[in-house]
Chains A and B, each alone.
Chain A
Amino acid sequence: MNILEVKNLTKQFGGLTATSDITMNIEKNSITAVIGPNGAGKTTFFNMITAVYKPTSGDILLNGKSLVGLKPHQVSQFGITRTFQNIRLFNDMTVLENVLVGMHQNLKSHWVGTLLQLPHIRKIEETARVEAYDILKYVGLEDYVNENAGNLAYGAQRRLEIGRAMAAKPKILLLDEPAAGMNPKETEKLTNLIYDLRSKLDVTIILIEHDMKLVMKISDFIYVLDHGELIASGKPDEIRTNNRVIEAYLGKGAVAND
């Protein structure tokens, strides 16, 4: 069953076409990778799904309902959460608070209740903190609960972003280059984390990634973008041998010389 359908999605910035006529069907509970050379329009594609950009034409359907025209926070409330290519944490808040912000849309507490110190609101906040701590334990950050997020090491910041996204309990999780800047050991840890996430949260994962080893290992399905166009799609084995993909990455002639 398809949870997300993207239909003829096009985005133009002035005269520049960032993505053109992209159509995708994302199956529920799958791990899908979107790959392509730099500037292929992958992040633009993510930005359209999360309503940061409004598409010029085309449609995005979540379980058959269109997401086009919604505000970013509404898309998030519909169950699509993301991480960012250039890490965007709340740097001056603690690690725990970052995760708590991730939980916001499911948190039933209210500031008036907090002011009046209503017992059930206090209970909600308390349970939320415990839940946030469990998430931090899961992503391996339980030793940094009270640390400011901006002070964390790079790899830890990436994991915190994933933890924060998990806290939102999304139906679809978009990961924008989660392994960027990580060493092989960290990447391996991350690969296992993503794998585990899918079964633990029962979530559909779409990721943009340049690390081909990671992509080939965990994705069920791959879409390849180049110059804003969809040039190939298929299972990892099909993509590995696809001539157009090799051409896009290595240039013309690479196929013949091989």
Chain B
Amino acid sequence: MTILSALFDKFAQSKKNQVILFIAYVVLTGLGLFLLPDSTIAFLLLLFSILILYYLKFNLRVKWVTGIVILAIIVPFIASHSDSYQTYMEVGTLVGIYCAMALGLNIVVGFAGLLDLGFIAFFAVGAYSYAIFASGQAAKFMPFGHYPLPGGTFWIFIIIGALVASLFGILLGIPVLRVRGDYLAIVTLGFGEIIRILLNNMDHPLNITNGSMGIASIKPPNFFGITIGNSSQFYYIALGIFLVVIYVVRKLEDSKLGRSWKAVRDNEIAAQAMGIPLVKTKLAAFAIGASFSGMMGVVFAAKQMFVDATSFTYLESTMVLVMVILGGMGSVPGVILGAAVVIILRTQVLTNISDWLSQMSTDYGIEIPAALSPEKMQLLIFGLLLIIFALYRTQGLIPHKNRKVDVELLKKESAAAALDREKVTSGGADS
């Protein structure tokens, strides 16, 4: 067995063999998804290829192109031949939405070190900002304009959702950033609840959110005359925003602002002593993190065509936080994996186990109380997961790694710069 695995290791070391193995994997899982009816496992394994891709030793650009081809072409194409096409795409869309949100929270918690337990509030703000204006709701309190707005405005609302959410991020930040650590966590938790309760009660004296009835018949987006109504179409919107978010986060991480965040996280006093304004830096983290959430809120509202406050409970905030902690705080690939794992566990694995158990109980006459079905025990399961990670793998699934610079290149450039300086000084001496 060890000889076999050693042989395999040797085989897998070469780049050419990696390509062959990877393609074989994608083809195999793809065939599985194509041929087997209702094969959730094949679908998940196909998605898993993205993670394998991450660990392969390819050129970064090749990896990106391959990943996008798999997600944007291969997965939807193969899944479209299955009976549960929309279900698969629904899962894909949800993973996209929550990945972007988790990446947003990762800026606040992972980069800037500010524990936020009410993050779902920004998602709610984004969702409601589209829901109110793309349904008849706005007509109930707006003195001018014709509502609902047409579905074409959805694209503008993605930007508006981001702006409104970041505005709320700043509004929350100004009073909240006076406190630190545990106190900050408690205050943000309170904020999350306040937003939810407000949304639930803002039907009087002026009916803005329609209260606990929620807002129904939200207009679906319209793309050059095509109405976007089902999950296979929303999948592409979520994927698009998700890719933009990854790009932004990766670039921010290595920017001046990203370094300020990490400096504030590691040592506030030293960061200030280096000229970093604390409040401004933290507010930027809140605002940018919230904006991702706001954008996806708009997508969520358009996809569900109905929103009410029950979608934005404290449990949802915790879920996003679990994604970040499970994946690895501060680690972009980790957080993406964390979000995917949590969503797939919630929507696929747990429900499938529950179905299977209830099938068993009817087949064999074993009584399993409904309260014990895994679907109902989400909180317990995620709680246990968190404890296990806190004990055995505190850095998460894919621990954060600082980006390394090419020292040889630096050395060369430094020498070149020194030579330039010398030329300038000696040139000056000549004249």
Judging by beta carbons under 8 Å apart, are A101 and B251 in contact?
Answer: no
Contact of A115 among B252, B270, B274 (CB under 8 A): B252
Task: Tell me, in angstroms, the Cα distance from A84 to B266 when the chains sit together.
Answer: 15
Judging by beta carbons under 8 Å apart, are B263 and A145 in contact?
Answer: no
Assess whether B230 is interfacial by the CB under 8 Å rule.
Answer: no
A43 to chain B, nearest CB (A): 12
In the complex, what residues of B have CB within 8 A of residue A96's CB?
405
Judging by beta carbons under 8 Å apart, are B267 and A89 in contact?
Answer: yes
In the complex, what residues of A have CB within 8 A of residue B277's CB?
71, 73
Judging by beta carbons under 8 Å apart, are B410 and A133 in contact?
Answer: yes
Judging by beta carbons under 8 Å apart, are B255 and A101 in contact?
Answer: no
Q: Which of B218-271 contact A (CB under 8 A)?
A: 248, 251-252, 254-260, 262-263, 265-267, 269-271
Assess whether B391 is interfacial by the CB under 8 Å rule.
Answer: no
Judging by beta carbons under 8 Å apart, are A130 and B413 in contact?
Answer: yes
In the complex, what residues of A have CB within 8 A of residue B405's CB?
94, 96, 129, 145-146
In the complex, what residues of A have CB within 8 A of residue B258's CB?
111
In the complex, what residues of B have CB within 8 A of residue A52's CB?
269, 272
Judging by beta carbons under 8 Å apart, are B267 and A88 in contact?
Answer: yes
Judging by beta carbons under 8 Å apart, are A77 and B262 in contact?
Answer: no
Please judge, given known A-B contacts A84-B270, A148-B402, whether A130 and B417 are in contact too, CB under 8 Å: yes
Judging by beta carbons under 8 Å apart, are B269 and A93 in contact?
Answer: no
Assess whether B429 is interfacial by the CB under 8 Å rule.
Answer: no
Contact of A105 among B255, B257, B274, B278 (CB under 8 A): B274
Judging by beta carbons under 8 Å apart, are B263 and A93 in contact?
Answer: yes
Task: Tell me, in angstroms, the Cα distance from A4 to B155 when the chains sit together.
Answer: 57
In the complex, what residues of B have CB within 8 A of residue A145's CB?
405, 407, 410
In the complex, what residues of B have CB within 8 A of residue A91's CB?
266-267
Judging by beta carbons under 8 Å apart, are B269 and A88 in contact?
Answer: yes
Task: Tell me, in angstroms, the Cα distance from A84 to B410 when the chains sit together.
Answer: 29
Assess whether A110 is interfacial by the CB under 8 Å rule.
Answer: yes
Judging by beta carbons under 8 Å apart, are A101 and B248 in contact?
Answer: no
Task: Tell me, in angstroms, the Cα distance from A91 to B400 when the chains sit together.
Answer: 14
In the complex, what residues of B have CB within 8 A of residue A93's CB?
259, 262-263, 266, 402
Judging by beta carbons under 8 Å apart, are B275 and A92 in contact?
Answer: no
Judging by beta carbons under 8 Å apart, are A146 and B255 in contact?
Answer: no
In the complex, what residues of A have CB within 8 A of residue B410's CB?
129-130, 133, 145
Assess whether B414 is interfacial by the CB under 8 Å rule.
Answer: yes
Please judge, given known A-B contacts A104-B256, A114-B256, A129-B410, whether A92 and B262 are in contact too, CB under 8 Å: yes
Query: Which residue, A71, A92, A125, has most C-beta atoms of chain B within 10 A?
Result: A92
Judging by beta carbons under 8 Å apart, are A104 and B414 in contact?
Answer: no
Q: Mark B268-308, 1 if CB is under 8 A from A, else 0.
A: 01111111111000000000000000000000000000000
Chain A residue with Cβ nearest B416: A130
Contacts across chains A and B counted by CB atoms under 8 Å: 121
Judging by beta carbons under 8 Å apart, are B262 and A82 in contact?
Answer: no
Assess whether A102 is interfacial by the CB under 8 Å rule.
Answer: yes
Chain A residue with Cβ nearest B262: A93
Assess whether A203 is interfacial by the CB under 8 Å rule.
Answer: no
Assess whether A159 is interfacial by the CB under 8 Å rule.
Answer: no
Task: Tell me, in angstroms, the Cα distance from A81 to B273 when the chains sit together.
Answer: 6
Q: Mark A141-167, 1 if CB is under 8 A from B, else 0.
A: 000011010000000000000001000
Task: Tell me, in angstroms, the Cα distance from A76 to B270 when the chains sit together.
Answer: 11
Judging by beta carbons under 8 Å apart, are B260 and A73 in contact?
Answer: no
In the complex, what residues of A have CB within 8 A of residue B178's CB?
none
Judging by beta carbons under 8 Å apart, are B407 and A146 in contact?
Answer: yes
Judging by beta carbons under 8 Å apart, are B260 and A104 in contact?
Answer: yes
Task: Tell me, in angstroms, the Cα distance from A107 to B256 when the chains sit together.
Answer: 8
Assess whether A168 is interfacial by the CB under 8 Å rule.
Answer: yes
Please judge, given known A-B contacts A50-B273, A71-B272, A130-B417, whether A90 and B252 are in contact too, CB under 8 Å: no
B331 to chain A, nearest CB (A): 12
A151 to chain B, nearest CB (A): 11
Judging by beta carbons under 8 Å apart, are A76 and B272 in contact?
Answer: yes
B406 to chain A, nearest CB (A): 9
In the complex, what residues of A have CB within 8 A of residue B263's CB?
90, 93, 101
Assess whether B16 is interfacial by the CB under 8 Å rule.
Answer: no
Assess whether B204 is interfacial by the CB under 8 Å rule.
Answer: no
A59 to chain B, nearest CB (A): 21
Assess whether A72 is interfacial by the CB under 8 Å rule.
Answer: yes
17 contacts between A and B (CB under 8 A): A71-B272, A73-B272, A76-B273, A76-B275, A81-B274, A88-B270, A89-B266, A89-B267, A90-B267, A92-B262, A93-B402, A94-B404, A97-B259, A104-B256, A107-B256, A130-B413, A134-B417
Q: Footprint of B on A, CB under 8 Å?
A: 50, 52, 71-73, 76-77, 81-82, 84, 88-94, 96-97, 100-102, 104-105, 107, 109-111, 114-115, 117, 125-127, 129-130, 133-134, 137, 145-146, 148, 164, 168
Q: A89-B267, A111-B256 are in contact. List 16 more A-B contacts (CB 8 A).
A: A50-B273, A71-B277, A72-B272, A73-B273, A73-B277, A77-B275, A82-B273, A101-B260, A107-B256, A114-B254, A115-B255, A133-B411, A134-B418, A146-B402, A168-B274, A168-B275
- Give me the 10 closest cross-chain CB pairs, A-B, nearest first: A105-B275, A76-B275, A114-B255, A90-B266, A72-B272, A111-B257, A88-B270, A146-B404, A111-B255, A133-B410
Q: Footprint of A on B, CB under 8 Å?
A: 248, 251-252, 254-260, 262-263, 265-267, 269-278, 402, 404-405, 407, 410-411, 413-414, 417-418
